[in-house]
Structure 1
Amino acid sequence: MNESTLKEQISENVNLYSNPSDLKITDLRVTHLNGAPKHCILLKIYTNQGLVGYGELRDASSATYALMLKSRLIGENPCNVDKLFRRIKQFGNHSRQGGGVSGIEIALWDLAGKAWNVPLWQMLGGKFRDKIRMYCDTDVDGKHTGTDMGHALKKRMEQGFTFLKMDLGIELLLDEPGCLNAPSGFLDDIKKYSLKAINHQKGSIDRDLMLGKNYEVFTIPHHATGIHLTQKGMNYLEDYVRQVREVIGYEVPLAIDHFGHVCIEDCILFGKRLEKYNIAWMEDVAPWQYTKHYEKISRAVHLPICTGEDIYLAENFVPLMQNGGISIAHPDILTIGGAMEMKKLGDLCENYGVGLAIHMAESPIACMAAIHTAAAIPQVMAVEFHSIDIPWWNDLAHGIANPLFDHGFVRVPDKPGLGIDALNEELIAQHLHEKHQELWPSSDCWNDEWANDRQWS
C-alpha cells in the first residue's frame, strides 16, 4: 500500500473538526467480502467531519437489512447511539435479519468513540479484564474420523488456544449405512441440498438449488424431520468423540455444535452418552424458540446446553433462562442488536446464573466489537474464532495487533472506538464476492425512502 493511500484511510479515524456535538451522518455504504470465513458484508457510516464508522452485518446476511435503514440515519448525530438504535430496532429480527440493525449499532459506537477519543469498552461502563479468551471452532473437510478431528484440535492447542469446539452432527452419518432412520429419500435430499454443496467455493448461492423442490429440508425444525439416530449411529458418534478425547485429553474444554436436526428424544439419549466425555456444552440441539424443548433436554441431560446465536435482543433470552432451558447463552453481536444489547444480556446472565460465550464467525470488525463488549461484561467464558486457517484475515484491518492472538487470548485495545486505524482496502478488493465486485458502491438510491414507521396511532 502506498503512503498516500494509507494516510487517506487513516484520516477516516481523525476528527478533523473536533466538534462531536455537530457531527452528522452523511452516507452509509457496504461492500461484500468473501471467505473471511464466509460472505461478510462490511459497512461504513460517513460523517460531515471526515470520521468514518466501521460496522458489519452478520455472516451470510443481506445488505438490504442495513441499506433500508439509511434514510432513518442521514443527518443524525451518530453519537446518539441509543436514540438511533431505538429508531431502527423495529426493523431487526432474529438470525441474519438482525444484521442490519446490529451492524449499524456497532458503526455508531465506533464513530462515537472516535469523536470523543474513547474506546468502545469505556463507553459501555469500563472493562472487567485486559484480555479475552478465544475458543477455536474447528472443521475437518471431507470424510474423516474422530482421530483426524482430534489431531486438528491438537494443532489448535499447540497454537495456544485453551478452549475448543467442533461440529458433531448427522452429516458424519450420511454415508454410513444403518446409522440413521428417516423417511425414504429424505437423507438423499439432505446430501444433495446440503449447505456445504450450495455454498460453493466462492460463497455464492445456486438459486436453482435454493428454490428447488427439496429445499424444504432446510425449513423443517428438528423435531419435525422424522430423522432418528439408530443405536449404530449413536455408537458411531460416541466413538468419534472418544477418539477426539484420546488425542486431546480431558483437561481442555471441548464444546459440541450442530448436533443435527433430529428429535429431542434422540438428543437426550445421545446427550446422556456424552456425559462421560466432559463436554463444555452441547449447542443448538433445537430451534432456540422452542423453550419447552430446551427445558426438557436440560432436565434430562447432565451436561451444559447452549443456544442463542440466532436470538435478536437480550430480552428474548429470558424465557430460556427462566425455565432453566440453557446453561450457556451464546449470542452473536451482529444478531443480538449490537454492543449495548450484548451488555444487557451479560447482566441477565448474571441475574439468572447462566454462562455467557460469544459467537463470532466474521471479519476483524465484528471480532473487535465482540472483544470490546466482552471486556465490559462481568463474566464471559470465551469469544469464538472461526478463521484461524485464513492467512490474510488479520491483515484486513490496520492498527489491531498482528498477530491478534497471544496464547489463545486477545488483548483489549485502548484505541478509540473499535480500535481499528483503517481497513485494508487493497486486500478487501482482492477478496470481493464474485457477484459484488464494486468496492463501496453508491447507495444514494436509499437516501430518500420514507415511511410512517410509528407502530401506534
Structure 2
Amino acid sequence: MNQEIDPSTLKITDMRFADIDGAPKRCTLIKLYTNQGLVGYGEVRDASSRTYAAMLKSRILGENPCNVDRIFRRIKQFGGHSRQAGGVCGIEVALWDLAGKAWGVPVWQLLGGKFRDRVRIYCDTDSAGGGRDMGRALADRMKQGYTFLKMDLGIELLMEQEGCLSAPLGFLEKMREYKKTVFATPHGSIDPRAMRGEAYDLFNTAHGFTGIHLTEKGLDYLEQYMADVRKVTGYEIPIAIDHLGHIPVEDCVRLAKRLEKYNLAWMEDPVPWQWHDQYKRLAAATTVPLGTGEDIYLKENFRPLLESGALAVVHPDVLTAGGILETHKIGDMAEEYGVQMAIHMAESPVACLAAVHVAAATRNFMALEVHSVDVPWWPDLIAPRLEIKDGYIAVPDAPGLGIEALNEKLIEEKLHPDFPAAWAATGEWDKEWANDRQWS
C-alpha cells in the first residue's frame, strides 16, 4: 500500500475529460481526482457521449472511490444498453484504478487473483478486395504472432455486387447515401441533422424488419470468399466472423449452413441480442458457434441468452456490460452454463487494460479484441507503453490498472476538434441533482 495514502479518508474531488480521435474511433478519456493527489483513469465507450459520465459527477463527488460496488449500485440506473452505458462503466473503471492505487495492488488481485499471466489478443482485421486479399491480411497477422483472428463477412461485401442482395427498391441506395454522409466525414464528426430522416431510420432498422435478403448468388459469393480466406490461412487457426448485416434469421440460417465447413470460431451478433428465440432457432439449425454480448448492459440481461443454450461465446464489452466487476461476474455466470467468454474492445489502452484485468481473473476467458493494431500511436497513449508481444498482452503487476501516466502531449495532438480542450473544468456538472429513488 502507498504509505502516503489513507484509503479510509480518500474522497473524489473532480472529474474531467479528454476526447481523442482515431483510436480507432472517438474515445472519451476520464480522470477522477481525489483529495490525496491520486488520479484514476477511465474511459467512456467508443463513439459514445461524455454527457453520460458528466451527468453523474454530482452523484460521486465526495465519495470514497474505494467503495466501488457501493458507488456503482448508486449510478447504474443511469446506464443503458450499448453506448448508453458508457458513463457508468467509465466511472466504474476509474474507481477500480483508484482503489488499486490506494491499496497498492493490481485490479486483478482485487477481483480474487489471476488465472493467467498474459492475455491472448485477437485483432479484428479489415481488407479491401476479395477473399484472397483478406486471407493475406490475416496471414500477416499470423506472422505478427497472433493466434486468434476475426474478420467481417456479410452484406457489406455484396453492396456493389449485382444480383447478390434482394431489398425494397431504393433501400440499399439510401443506406449507401447515409454511410457516405455519416462515416466519411472528417475526424468522425457527425452533424446532428444527419441523425434524422428516412436514411437514418432505414440504416437503423432492426435485422428482421429491413426486407434485405441474400440471394443464392450472394450466398455463393460469401461462401467462396470464406473458402478463399481459408486457402491462405489454413484451417488450424480460429477465425470468427462479424458484421453479417441486418438480415433476418432465416438468411442467417442459410449463410451459417454454407459456412459450417470452414471451422469458424463463432458467428457474432447475427441478430439483435434481445431476440432470444431467434438465437435458439439459429443455434438449432447450424453447428456454427454463436456469440453476442457487446451491446448488453448488466449481467441479468445476459442470463436469458445463457439459459436458452444458444450461445457458445459470450462477448461483453467492459465499457457497456457494467464495468470491470460486472464483466467478471458475467464471465463467471457464463462458465456455469458451459459458455466461454471473449471480450469486445474497440477503445484506447485505458479500456484495453481494464479488459486485461478482467480477462486475467476470469477462468473461462478465451481472447480479447484489439481494434487498433494498425494505429501506430495507439500503444503510446499510456505509460508504460502498452506492448502486444506474439499476440499477447502481459498482465500488469503495478497498482490499479497499471498505468503510471497518460501521454498528455500525444493526447493534445489527437484531440477531437469538436470537443473542449483536454481536462477542461466541468464545474457546470458539480450540482446537477435529481431525486434518483426508484420507489415510493
Distance 1:188 1:112 in 2: 51
1:34 CA displacement = 0.6
The residue number in structure 2 matching 1:409 is: 392
Would the alpha carbon gap of residues 96 and 351 (structure 1) be closer, same or farther in structure 2, given more than 3 Å must change? same
What does 1:137-148 correspond to in 2, within 5 Å? 137-141=124-128, 144-148=129-133
Classify the secondary structure of the residue corresponding to 1:381. Answer: strand
What does 1:56-205 correspond to in 2, within 5 Å? 56-141=43-128, 144-194=129-179, 197-205=182-190
Distance 1:110 1:316 in 2: 26
What code does the residue aligned with 1:19 have? D
Q: Kindly indicate whether the alpha-carbon contact (under 8 Å) linking 1:131 and 1:410 is maintained by their aligned counterparts in 2.
A: yes
What code does the residue aligned with 1:352 have? Y
Q: Kindly indicate whether the alpha-carbon contact (under 8 Å) linking 2:119 and 2:356 is maintained by their aligned counterparts in 1.
A: yes
Question: How many residues end up aligned between the 2 structures?
Answer: 440
Percent of aligned positions that are identical: 60
The residue number in structure 1 matching 2:430 is: 447
The residue number in structure 2 matching 1:264 is: 249
Equivalent position to 2:341, from 356, 372, 375: 356
What does 1:331-410 correspond to in 2, within 5 Å? 331-401=316-386, 404-410=387-393
Distance 2:186 2:149 in 1: 25
Classify the secondary structure of the residue corresponding to 2:296. Answer: coil
Equivalent position to 1:422, from 383, 405, 408: 405
More divergent stretch after superposition (209-218 vs 131-140) = 209-218
Distance 2:232 2:116 in 1: 32
Q: Kindly indicate whether the alpha-carbon contact (under 8 Å) linking 2:182 and 2:194 is maintained by their aligned counterparts in 1.
A: no
1:217 CA displacement = 1.5
Q: Kindly indicate whether the alpha-carbon contact (under 8 Å) linking 2:182 and 2:190 is maintained by their aligned counterparts in 1.
A: no
Q: Kindly indicate whether the alpha-carbon contact (under 8 Å) linking 2:54 and 2:429 is maintained by their aligned counterparts in 1.
A: yes
Listed one character per residue, the Cα deviations across residues 235-285 of structure 1 (whole Å, up to 9, x for unaligned) are 001111111111111110000000111111010011001000000000010
The residue number in structure 2 matching 1:3 is: none
What code does the residue aligned with 1:371 have? V
Listed one character per residue, the Cα deviations across residues 315-355 of structure 1 (whole Å, up to 9, x for unaligned) are 11110010112111000000001111011111111111111
Q: Kindly indicate whether the alpha-carbon contact (under 8 Å) linking 1:259 and 1:285 is maintained by their aligned counterparts in 2.
A: yes
The residue number in structure 2 matching 1:10 is: none
The residue number in structure 1 matching 2:9 is: 22
Would the alpha carbon gap of residues 243 and 51 (structure 1) be closer, same or farther in structure 2, given more than 3 Å must change? same
1:400 CA displacement = 4.1
Distance 1:234 1:169 in 2: 10
The residue number in structure 1 matching 2:195 is: 210
The residue number in structure 1 matching 2:38 is: 51
Q: Kindly indicate whether the alpha-carbon contact (under 8 Å) linking 2:123 and 2:149 is maintained by their aligned counterparts in 1.
A: yes
Distance 1:180 1:398 in 2: 48
Classify the secondary structure of the residue corresponding to 1:382. Answer: strand
2:58 is equivalent to residue 41 of structure 1: no
Listed one character per residue, the Cα deviations across residues 147-177 of structure 1 (whole Å, up to 9, x for unaligned) are 1111111111111100000011101111111
Distance 1:201 1:277 in 2: 38
Distance 1:264 1:175 in 2: 23
What code does the residue aligned with 1:304 have? P
2:321 is equivalent to residue 328 of structure 1: no
Listed one character per residue, the Cα deviations across residues 28-51 of structure 1 (whole Å, up to 9, x for unaligned) are 011101100110010000000000
Classify the secondary structure of the residue corresponding to 1:433. Answer: coil
**Aligned-residue CA RMSD (Å):** 1.3
Classify the secondary structure of the residue corresponding to 2:266. Answer: strand
Would the alpha carbon gap of residues 125 and 92 (structure 1) be closer, same or farther in structure 2, given more than 3 Å must change? same
What code does the residue aligned with 2:407 have? N
Structure 2 unaligned blocks of 5 or more: none
Would the alpha carbon gap of residues 197 and 168 (structure 1) be closer, same or farther in structure 2, given more than 3 Å must change? farther
Listed one character per residue, the Cα deviations across residues 89-120 of structure 1 (whole Å, up to 9, x for unaligned) are 00001000011010000000000000010000
What code does the residue aligned with 1:115 have? A
Distance 1:223 1:170 in 2: 14
